[in-house]
Amino acid sequence: MATEAEVCHSVAYYLMEFEKLRKDEKESNKLNKEECWKGDINRRGTCLVEWKAMCRTKKEGGLNIVNLENQNSALLMKFLDKFFNHAEIPWVQLTWSRLYSHQFIPPQSKKPCGSFWWKDVLKLFSKFREFALCKPRKGNSSSLWLDNWSGQVLQQVFPQLFSFPRKKHWSLKHFMEKDPESTLFLPLSAIAEDQLAELDVLLNDKVGNPEFEDSWEYFWGPDYFPSKAYKHLQGKLDASPIFLWIWKSGNLGKHKFFA
C-alpha cells in the first residue's frame, strides 16, 4: 500500500502532464486549422467549411480529421472510469476517503473540490453520463434523479414526482435510508403517489447488495474504451451515400479531360 507522500508525488506528476497536454491540444487544433485553410483563421470569410464538419468521417462527408478536444475528453474519462468503479489505485482510494466521505451527495453533484486537475476531470461527467450506466449497490455514487441507474433517467420517467424532492441532487443511498417525509415535500399529488409506488418497486428490483460498492458500465459493455467513447462524443450523422462513392472513386491521370 502506497503512502500518502507517494500518492501526492504521483498526483503532482499527473498535474504537470495534464496541463502540458491541455496546452498541446489547443496548439495542435490551431495548427490543423491553419494547415487546412491556409491563411488567417480569424479573418471573416476565410473558413469556408465548419471545423466540426471536417472532423466527421468520410462516410458523413468529412475529412476524418481527429477532433482533439473529443479525443482528449475520451482519454481523460479513463480517470472517471477508475474512480467510479473504485479501482485498487492509491489516488482513487485517497480521493474517496478525503473528499467524498459524505455519501448522501454523489461526487458529480457536489461543489467542485480538490486539485485543479481533478476539478477539470470531474467536469467531464456531463459527457460521461451520456453513455454510462450505474449498477447501484451502496448507491453513494449515483444521483437518484439525474443519473442513469435504472435504464432511464428518473427525471424524465417520473416528471410529476420529480417536482416534490427537497433536493434534486441527493444520492440513491440517501433516498433509500431516509423516510419520505425528509426527502419529499408532502402531501403528494395522486399521480406522484402512484409514481412513488413504482419507484419503490424499481429500487427493490435494481439495487443490489449494499455491502458492495457501485459499479459503472457502458452502452457497449462493462469495460471502458476511449475509442468507443470518442465515437459516441463525435455522434453519428445520416449522410448521402454519394460521399462514400466519391472517396472510393479514383483517377490514374491517363485521360485528357480538356483538349
Q: Which helix (H) or strand (E) holds 228?
A: helix 226-234
Q: Among 148, 146, 122, which Cα is nearest to 135's?
A: 148
What is the pTM (predicted TM-score) of this model?
0.81
Q: Are residues 36 and 163 in the same domain?
A: no
For residue 156, pLDDT beyond 50: yes
For residue 21, pLDDT beyond 50: yes
Q: Are residues 80 and 142 in the same domain?
A: yes
In a domain, 117, yes or no: yes
Report the share of the chain in percent with pLDDT over 90: 56
In a domain, 253, yes or no: no
In a domain, 7, yes or no: no
Q: Are residues 140 and 52 in the same domain?
A: no
The residue range of the domain holding 35 is 12-66
Q: Are residues 58 and 93 in the same domain?
A: no
Q: Are residues 18 and 95 in the same domain?
A: no
Q: pLDDT-based confidence at 36, cuts 50/70/90?
A: low
Give residue 24's pLDDT. 60
For residue 22, pLDDT beyond 70: no
For residue 223, pLDDT beyond 60: yes
Q: Are residues 45 and 81 in the same domain?
A: no
What are 191-214's pLDDT values in tens digits?
Answer: 999 999 999 999 999 999 999 999
In a domain, 123, yes or no: yes
Domain count, the chain: 2
In a domain, 154, yes or no: yes
Q: Are residues 56 and 105 in the same domain?
A: no
The DSSP string of 156-181 is HH-TTGGGSBS-TT-BHHHHHHS-HH
Tell me the C-alpha distance between 181 and 229, whole Å.
40
For residue 72, pLDDT beyond 80: yes
Contact, 37 vs 45, CB < 8 A? no
Give residue 41's pLDDT. 54
In a domain, 237, yes or no: no
Question: 251 or 213: whose pLDDT is higher?
Answer: 213
Give residue 146's pLDDT. 94
In a domain, 234, yes or no: no
